[in-house]
Structure 1
Amino acid sequence: MIVRLKKSTFLLLALALYFFLGGAALATANDSRKTLSPQWTNTTSVNVNLSFDDGKGTCGARVLGKSGVTKITGKVVLARKNSDGTYTAVKTWSNLKTTGEKLLFDKTYYVTTGYSYRLTITATVYRNGTGETVSGSYEAYAK
């Protein structure tokens, strides 16, 4: 009788653990589908876009500062992806700046087709006397 009770208790405990751990695994799987984004102090968002049409590259980037931002400075680099996976800069736009909460960048640049290119913006967002460096990038293939 005691052996039967121990087996029943063990079986119930095993089933409870199975369902408990199965639920935790399901919660983890659902959480992994959420998009994670950085939490900045001075910056609301960084967006980068890059598209090509017959070698004509449209390069765009936007950095939005939080309320109270006094200045945003930045640099944008267009780089070609090499066969070994490294990148070589083909065009750099430096000394970008604005006296406000929004830095907008919009340029056209012609490239050699048949390569992937990456556009990266690196910006420093100033608020309350403190600068915060942020960056974002986007990669596209030039057909």
Structure 2
Amino acid sequence: MAPSADCLDARQVAELHQADARILAVAERDGRLFRLQLSQDCPQLAAQPDASLLAANGWVCNGAQAYVSTGQQGCAIDQVAPLTARDYASPGRQHDHDGVPTLERISVREARRRNFAGSSSYCFNPSMLRSWS
């Protein structure tokens, strides 16, 4: 049983995305979504394969000590807040678009062909044929 409705169950984490050096978006297996505010900059934390949440009794709540940990570093969690699906998707979309330039739209048009044109696709080379008697 959750100590509070705003607490994240660290044992049920399904996805972990990093919006910037101090903000993580977390999805539980049951579909609940959360935003974690870290106390210091921890870049590339969610990209680590061994990233995990550490909290007393498995619950990440406001005011309780909790950490995001990898083999190389541990970062304290300052704040936990529930998210809507739209808010959860927004940092991911922004992160995917960062650093990727968008090109101007172009239009490609083929030169107009004559209505009747010959083609070599129906021709064959008789010297390449074999026959049996």
- Regarding TM over 0.5, the answer is no
TM-score, scaled to structure 2: 0.23
- Structure having the larger proportion of residues in strand: 1
**Larger Cα Rg: Structure 1 or Structure 2?**
2
What is the TM-score with the length of structure 1 in the denominator? 0.21
The answer to which structure, 1 or 2, has the higher relative contact order (CA under 8 A, 6+ apart) is: 1
